[in-house]
Amino acid sequence: MANYADFQLGLYLAGMAGDTPPYPLTFAGLEAAAEAKMEHRLWDYVAGGAGDEHTQRGNVEAFLRWGIMPRMLSGAAERDLSVELFGHLLPTPIFMAPIGVLGVMTDDEHGDLAAAAASAASGVPMVASTLMQDPMEDVAAALGDTPGFFQLYTPNDRELAESFVRRAETAGFQGIVVTLDTWTLGYRPRDLQHATFPQLRGSCLVNYTSDPVFRGRLAVPPEEDPAAAALQWAMTFGNPTLTWEDLAWLRDLTDLPLLLKGICHPDDVRRAKDAGIDGIYCSNHGGRQAASAPALELLPAVVDAAEGMPVLFDSGVRSGPDVVKALALGATAVGIGRPYGYGAVLGGRAGIEFVLSCLLAETDLTMALNGYRSVADLTREVLVRT
């Protein structure tokens, strides 16, 4: 078992030789450094949220309403952070949540490959977005032995949706995550102020422009008319007609584990379970889509309704204590979004690995100093309202 807390010891030892950490260690520091470096329209797309961004702030503040009960003399000198997910024994309970512009957030504009390489090195799984800067086949190959999952924005073209799923399956992804809350764009004033966003400028559409079905919908190849390809993407991207009745079609597309992302109501959990869905992904899209309740407040009821079915969670996770709190409320695994995205901005693969190491060290130390030896010890009883 790795003691991820040893990462901080390495930083102290490096300091004895005069070396200081290459990147900020707090979310606020990462955020400020990334903002200073990023092009302003891309920054607003990544950092912004829906409406007045109250939901986005609420996601973060929800974690502050919970404290962790310390237990002493519990023999927590070594911890086991491993979790099991769809038959995979993962070394840690965190995963990289999908970021639809990750590809253009690194200096070389290959951010998806950078995250995949970081996943391979760390054992932290990646949920790769449909919106990539490199083809899904290349990203899957870069994951090495670490299981990866493909996040599907279900297009309104069923043949294209089926092609995406088949390609993901053939590429070696270990599950399909269907995002439900983005059949149309949320009201995002920051993007509206610029009157554009990255995909309309042709970024992160490679999975579309490399797909034979999508290419067959174009009058000329996308290499000859990128603007026409972007327009075709915009007309294809969302699927407002997707309903519960369509789950049978989605379920029949693949034998891989199928998860629904954006499920936050217990009744929806039960309907998904009855439809043969394998996992729930509780999320409000980081506050980017609809104004809603903080996702963390909805997690316990989702977990109860799942009755043992895996529940992934993201939205507002910024630190190791946040990870511990989400696990204690019942999440099977906890997704990190903007923190590792900002690491990508600052240092590509190295920046992502640094952020993951920081989060894992803080998670490990939070468990250790509060007296919890394994993820199994993190039940709701360890939390107190503050």
Query: Catalytic positions, please?
Result: 285
The radius of gyration of the chain from alpha carbons, rounded to an integer in Å, stands at: 20
Integer Cα distance of 68 and 165 in angstroms: 41
Q: Where does residue 328 fall: left (phi above 0), alpha (psi -120 to 50 degrees), or beta otherwise?
A: alpha
Cβ of 223: how many Cβ atoms within 10 Å? 9
Contacts for 235 with CB less than 8 Å, ≥ 6 apart: none
- β strands within 74-124, DSSP E: 83-85, 88-90, 94-96
Question: What is the four-CA torsion angle of 46, 49, 51, 54, rounded to 10 degrees?
Answer: -150
Contact 226, 202 (CB under 8 A): yes
Number of H helices, E strands in the chain: 16, 12
